[in-house]
């Protein structure tokens, strides 16, 4: 099943929800109006559909393999990566100063979705490189960045993020890797890192590892963690590659999904110490990591949307093709394609509504990000940052959780064929399963949402968003169509449930942390649900306006139906979630440890 980029839907969001033409008013983004977005997206669609997508199933069948320290990627990946680099795709969102294209995230996110829909295992490599680039842009010294950034932004060298150790997963306080300062200002790094995505591979000439480790004498816990660059090959003064550094891949994992993407165990310093270079200041590693992680978390959320889109397309293709049984309404007097059966419709609509809702949410979040950097109005920058930061755990947590349901429905639509690996639906289901885990599990996102994003300001940002949602409800009421009124009703109930939970969180996080954190993930899911539903409600308003103007009636009508479906079938979950969160904490924590 080939992949077809949903350009129309992406451009609808970029234009009408994210407001690309406003973004193009921001200094630095002058060339990034709608026409640019369209041109870039079309080009990216070509590349994703033509080059990356055909390698996706191949990567599942012939995963990256490991032998004697060397990782060989799936046949075709190396060549595809070369084309990726030649196309300049790695530099899309990075500064022109270092050879990038400096495009807004609003455009970059859509491109990221396409690459991940086409081939998630492949797209992980550039995604991790993006993260490493952001870390250097955030905190790297001019000297360090002069050595690395241009090569990484061109895609010539790739990047990794080395956080996890066997005893330190979600709990980075437990990191034990250490770094000894050397006379020349560099460090020698020692330790074991696990779950390192593209920690070793054969697609680029150098790999730039960003590594969390403790400098000698650093305090315990998260306050003693520093960030280091540890390249696979040392870099000579003239920029050419020097000798092999003391970082080695000792194995790669046998995983449930994203099999083409090598997940490495890296050993640092087994032969005297790996040369490492401090990023920023000592003991501020976690702070840098968090800035970078916000970007990576957003990107993983986009992966959720991407894999959901792919699963949806495949399921639609099958449902239109597979003939089985007569429709229950007697409208066809013979066996019909299964898309004529209401439950298949329900599954496809669920997949579609989730995917479009999360895409809309991610697009709007990206627009806020774009406004945080160079918007001339400081108040707009501040508010945009607050909004974006609130959105990050939702984009990451909600979009990846929904991708579990959507890819599972994708299997279900295929019936027995869905369980057969050659069909391909199972690959999306397996690939998606990592998304709620890496870059911080959903629970870690939810902790962030509760602690830093809700409790800290007493729920003010959350309530500000609720006020915006209420404004949309009023627009729906004013619009007055049956669909608008129905959506308004569900949105209102969901928004009220959200506000009640925000108040519960704000009031109790300090005094009853167990009660609040018992509902942490449900709160995240509720918040994601209401925000995605809100964005589809906004979409409905736009679509009804466009429809009235005679623009693309079929697309606009479908958008209205999808928004209505989201409201009727997904927003309806919100009040029950409120009940569980606000009134149900006791039974979460009540069972005696021995009783489990």
Please count the other Cβ atoms lying within 10 Å of the Cβ belonging to residue 464.
15
Q: Shortest gap between Cβ of 532 and a copy of itself (angstroms)?
A: 16
CA 167, 169, 174, 178 torsion-angle sign: positive
Give, in order, the Cα–Cα distances in Å from 321 to each of 114, 219, 338: 25, 62, 8
Residue number, 204 or 300, with CB nearest to a copy of itself: 300
Q: Shortest gap between Cβ of 426 and a copy of itself (angstroms)?
A: 4
Q: Shortest gap between Cβ of 80 and a copy of itself (angstroms)?
A: 24
Please count the other Cβ atoms lying within 10 Å of the Cβ belonging to residue 87.
16
Instruction: Compute CA 513 distance to the chain's CA centroid, rounded to the nearest angstrom.
Output: 28
Q: Tokens for 439, please give them.
A: 């870059």
- Alpha-carbon distance of 183 to 382, in angstroms, equals 42
CA 237, 241, 242, 245 torsion-angle sign: positive
Give, in order, the Cα–Cα distances in Å from 272 to each of 189, 194, 208, 247: 9, 20, 19, 10
Q: Shortest gap between Cβ of 488 and a copy of itself (angstroms)?
A: 14
Residue number, 157 or 312, with CB nearest to a copy of itself: 312
Residue number, 43 or 343, with CB nearest to a copy of itself: 343
- Alpha-carbon distance of 30 to 291, in angstroms, equals 25
Strands 157-162 and 206-215: parallel
3-state helix/strand/coil string of 69-119: CEEECCCCHHHHHHHHHHCCHHHCCCCHHHCCCCCCHHHHHHHHHHHHHHC
Residue whose C-alpha is closest to residue 245's, from 266, 277, 273, 226: 273
Q: Shortest gap between Cβ of 554 and a copy of itself (angstroms)?
A: 6
CB 308 within 8 A of CB 406: yes
Residue number, 85 or 196, with CB nearest to a copy of itself: 196
- Alpha-carbon distance of 474 to 489, in angstroms, equals 10
- Alpha-carbon distance of 525 to 537, in angstroms, equals 18
Instruction: Compute CA 38 distance to the chain's CA centroid, rounded to the nearest angstrom.
Output: 22
150 an active-site residue? Answer: no
Residue number, 253 or 457, with CB nearest to a copy of itself: 253
Q: Shortest gap between Cβ of 220 and a copy of itself (angstroms)?
A: 11
Q: Shortest gap between Cβ of 45 and a copy of itself (angstroms)?
A: 19
CB 540 within 8 A of CB 563: yes
CB 128 within 8 A of CB 162: no
CB-based contacts of 184, cutoff 8 Å, min separation 6? none
Residue number, 92 or 541, with CB nearest to a copy of itself: 541
Residue number, 53 or 350, with CB nearest to a copy of itself: 350
Residue number, 276 or 440, with CB nearest to a copy of itself: 440
- Alpha-carbon distance of 122 to 115, in angstroms, equals 8
- Alpha-carbon distance of 10 to 13, in angstroms, equals 5
- Alpha-carbon distance of 130 to 155, in angstroms, equals 10
Residue number, 245 or 520, with CB nearest to a copy of itself: 520
- Alpha-carbon distance of 411 to 308, in angstroms, equals 12
**Helix 342-374, helix 285-321: angle, nearest 10:** 150
Residue number, 67 or 254, with CB nearest to a copy of itself: 254
- Alpha-carbon distance of 516 to 513, in angstroms, equals 5
Q: Shortest gap between Cβ of 375 and a copy of itself (angstroms)?
A: 36
Please count the other Cβ atoms lying within 10 Å of the Cβ belonging to residue 539.
24
Which residue do the tokens 């990356």 mark?
52
CB 401 within 8 A of CB 525: yes
CA 478, 481, 487, 492 torsion-angle sign: positive
Q: Shortest gap between Cβ of 415 and a copy of itself (angstroms)?
A: 5
Residue number, 6 or 112, with CB nearest to a copy of itself: 6
Q: Shortest gap between Cβ of 399 and a copy of itself (angstroms)?
A: 16
Q: Tokens for 482, please give them.
A: 């049956």
Q: Shortest gap between Cβ of 168 and a copy of itself (angstroms)?
A: 8
Q: Which residue is catalytic, options 220, 439, 475, 545?
A: 439
Catalytic positions, please?
439
């Amino acid at each position: 099943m080939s992949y077809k980029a949903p350009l129309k839907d992406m451009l609808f969001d970029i234009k009408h929800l994210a407001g690309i033409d406003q973004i193009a008013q921001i200094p630095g983004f002058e060339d990034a109006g709608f026409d640019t977005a369209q041109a870039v997206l079309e080009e990216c669609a070509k590349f994703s559909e033509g080059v990356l997508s055909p390698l996706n199933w191949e990567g599942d069948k012939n995963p990256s393999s490991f032998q004697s320290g060397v990782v060989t990627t799936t046949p075709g990946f190396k060549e595809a990566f070369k084309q990726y680099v030649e196309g300049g795709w790695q530099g899309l969102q990075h500064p022109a100063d270092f050879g990038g294209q400096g495009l807004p995230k609003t455009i970059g996110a859509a491109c990221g979705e396409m690459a991940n829909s086409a081939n998630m295992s492949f797209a992980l490599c550039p995604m991790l490189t993006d993260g490493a680039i952001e870390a250097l842009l955030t905190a790297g010294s001019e000297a360090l960045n002069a050595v690395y950034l241009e090569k990484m932004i061109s895609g010539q060298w790739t990047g990794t993020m080395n956080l996890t150790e066997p005893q330190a997963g979600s709990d980075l306080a437990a990191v034990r890797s250490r770094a000894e300062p050397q006379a020349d200002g560099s460090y020698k790094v020692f330790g074991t890192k696990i779950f390192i995505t593209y920690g070793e591979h054969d697609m680029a000439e150098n790999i730039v590892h960003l590594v969390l480790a403790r400098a000698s004498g650093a305090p315990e816990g998260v306050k003693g963690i520093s960030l280091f660059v540890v390249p696979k090959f040392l870099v000579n003064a003239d920029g050419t590659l020097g000798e092999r550094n003391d970082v080695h891949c000792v194995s790669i994992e046998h995983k449930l999904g994203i099999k083409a993407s090598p997940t490495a165990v890296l050993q640092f310093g087994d032969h005297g110490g790996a040369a490492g270079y401090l990023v920023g200041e000592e003991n501020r590693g976690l702070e840098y990591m968090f800035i970078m992680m916000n970007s990576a978390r957003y990107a993983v959320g986009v992966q959720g949307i991407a894999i959901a889109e792919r699963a949806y397309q495949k399921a639609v293709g099958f449902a239109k093709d597979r003939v089985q049984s007569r429709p229950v309404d007697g409208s066809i007097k013979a066996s019909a394609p299964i898309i004529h059966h209401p439950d298949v419709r329900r599954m496809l609509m669920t997949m579609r509504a989730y995917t479009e809702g999360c895409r809309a949410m991610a697009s709007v979040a990206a627009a806020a990000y774009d406004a945080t950097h160079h918007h001339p109005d400081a108040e707009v920058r501040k508010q945009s940052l607050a909004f974006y930061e609130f959105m990050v755990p939702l984009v990451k947590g909600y979009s990846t959780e929904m991708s579990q349901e959507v890819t599972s429905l994708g299997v279900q639509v295929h019936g027995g064929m869905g369980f057969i690996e050659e069909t391909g639906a199972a690959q999306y289901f397996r690939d998606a399963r990592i998304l709620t885990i890496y870059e911080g599990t959903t629970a870690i996102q939810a902790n962030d949402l509760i602690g830093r994003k809700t409790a800290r300001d007493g729920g003010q940002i959350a309530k500000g968003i609720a006020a915006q949602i209420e404004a949309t409800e009023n627009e729906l009421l004013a619009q007055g169509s049956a669909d608008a009124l129905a959506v308004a009703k569900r949105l209102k109930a969901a928004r009220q449930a959200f506000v009640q939970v925000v108040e519960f969180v704000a009031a109790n996080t300090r005094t009853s942390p167990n009660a609040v954190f018992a509902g942490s993930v449900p709160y995240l899911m509720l918040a994601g649900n209401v925000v995605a539903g809100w964005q589809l409600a906004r979409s409905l308003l736009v679509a009804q306006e466009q429809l009235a103007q005679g623009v693309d009636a079929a697309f606009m009508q479908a958008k209205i139906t999808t928004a209505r479906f989201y409201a009727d079938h997904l927003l309806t979950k919100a009040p029950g979630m409120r009940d569980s969160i606000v009134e149900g904490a006791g039974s979460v924590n009540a069972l005696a440890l021995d009783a489990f």
